[in-house]
Amino acid sequence: EKYRKEVALRRKYHEQLVELKGNIRVLCRVKPVLKEDQHEEGQSVVVTPDPNNESSLTVLNKGKGRIFELDKVFNPQATQEEVFQEIEPLVTSCIDGYHVCIFAYGQTGSGKTYTMEGSVENPGINQRALKQLFTVIEDRKDMWTYSVSVSSVEIYNEVLRDLLSKDGEKLDIKINPDGTGQLHVPGLRVIEVRNFQHIKKILATARRNRITFGTQMNQHSSRSHALLCVTVEGVDLATGSKTTGKLNLVDLAGSERVWKSGAEGERLKEAQNINRSLLALGDVIQALRARQTHIPFRNSRLTYLLQDSLGKGSKTVMVVQVSALESNLGETLCSLKFAQRVCKVELGPAARKI
């Protein structure tokens, strides 16, 4: 009984949070200036988060400051823990049956992988999220029984590959023949996760495979999207009622405008595909935020694959990564314009309800 009250309270809290913050949020993380980024001595910093307003930052362009307003800006000193804190309620909500997507967007080198995967000493969102899931599941073990399963795919040049299979099997997306209209991916490896140690091993396999598949192709990993898809199925031990929550953690391909630098042939096609899929994602998020009736999921493999986690009742966070340095100004402006385009759509009061 106590527990059920707790669940009801938590749901109420989530709904309030969504009411307050919207179910699609765009955050920005400014990468700290590292020694290795300072190719030229004394390069200036052109991105400054507003010290008095946590949702705004200023970009200095030819002596003029341009202000961008997003849902939240993390300054370069923000820790992995602080970034995770912002996302934590969403992670917990997937145990209650919600569908959640978290994306890292930005040019190559802006810190997407650091934010999602992190380093051994400083794990990112993926590991922290899974750890959190197992902690909550343990807390509830007297009332609910849960199973957690994961799959991981890479989308490169609009081709899906299984990151948990040794040979990186190519995959297709199909409509489920059961008549529900849901999508499925035949042949995809789905691993049931026993505990947090187990997930660490699975994440390491996915990372290793991503590198191995990429060796034929220069900078392959920066041109592919890496997805970690977690499904949490719960059964209420008292009533037998079931929930299915999903958490999709996505390290997107680099958003840099490669085609402008004279790319030809395969490289141009690849650049166009990346650009198309990132634009398609932007369009989908914008349409969702505006509560449009038609959501253009089918314009890329990425949005098609994620459609049941991006639709109604789901929650999305896009972390836009930017460099603070002048040498990256052009890309930083592009990324922030992308973020602003998604963000500027007003959430009317009716649209805020799940």
Residues lying near ligand ADP in the complex (CB under 6 A) are found at 31-32, 34, 106, 108-114, 222, 321
Please state the closest distance from residue 165 (CB atom) to ligand ADP, in A. Answer: 23
Cβ closer to ligand ADP: 108 or 272? 108
Please state the closest distance from residue 213 (CB atom) to ligand ADP, in A. Answer: 16
| Rounded-to-integer distance, Cα 64 and Cα 72, Å | 22
Q: Please check whether residue 102 is in contact with residue 96, taking contact to mean a CB–CB distance below 8 angstroms.
A: no
Closest CA to 210 of 87, 91, 116, 304: 116
Please state the closest distance from residue 330 (CB atom) to ligand ADP, in A. Answer: 16
Query: Is 63 annotated to bind ligand?
Result: no
Q: How many residues does the chain have?
A: 354
Q: Please check whether residue 306 is in contact with residue 230, taking contact to mean a CB–CB distance below 8 angstroms.
A: no
Query: Is 38 annotated to bind ligand?
Result: no
Query: Is 337 annotated to bind ligand?
Result: no
Long-range CB contacts for residues 111-117, cutoff 8 Å, separation at least 24 = 111/29, 111/31, 111/321, 112/251, 112/252, 112/254, 112/319, 112/321, 113/251, 114/31, 115/29, 115/80, 115/83, 115/319, 115/321, 116/226, 116/249, 116/250, 116/251, 117/203, 117/207, 117/251
Q: Which residue has the tokens 């998604």?
A: 342
Query: Is 321 annotated to bind ligand?
Result: no
Cβ closer to ligand ADP: 110 or 224? 110
Query: Is 166 annotated to bind ligand?
Result: no
| Rounded-to-integer distance, Cα 114 and Cα 133, Å | 20
Query: Is 112 annotated to bind ligand?
Result: yes
Cβ closer to ligand ADP: 131 or 207? 207
Please state the closest distance from residue 111 (CB atom) to ligand ADP, in A. Answer: 3
Cβ closer to ligand ADP: 109 or 234? 109
Cβ closer to ligand ADP: 29 or 189? 29
Please state the closest distance from residue 82 (CB atom) to ligand ADP, in A. Answer: 10
- By beta carbon distance, the residue nearest ligand ADP is 111
- DSSP of 138-151: HHTTTTEEEEEEEE
Long-range CB contacts for residues 265-273, cutoff 8 Å, separation at least 24 = 269/157, 270/157, 270/223, 273/157, 273/158
Query: Is 108 annotated to bind ligand?
Result: yes
Longest dimension (CA), the chain: 65
Cβ closer to ligand ADP: 106 or 234? 106
Cβ closer to ligand ADP: 107 or 151? 107
| Rounded-to-integer distance, Cα 231 and Cα 248, Å | 9
Query: Is 107 annotated to bind ligand?
Result: yes
**Annotated binding-site members:** 106-113
Task: Write out the binding residues for ATP.
Answer: 106-113
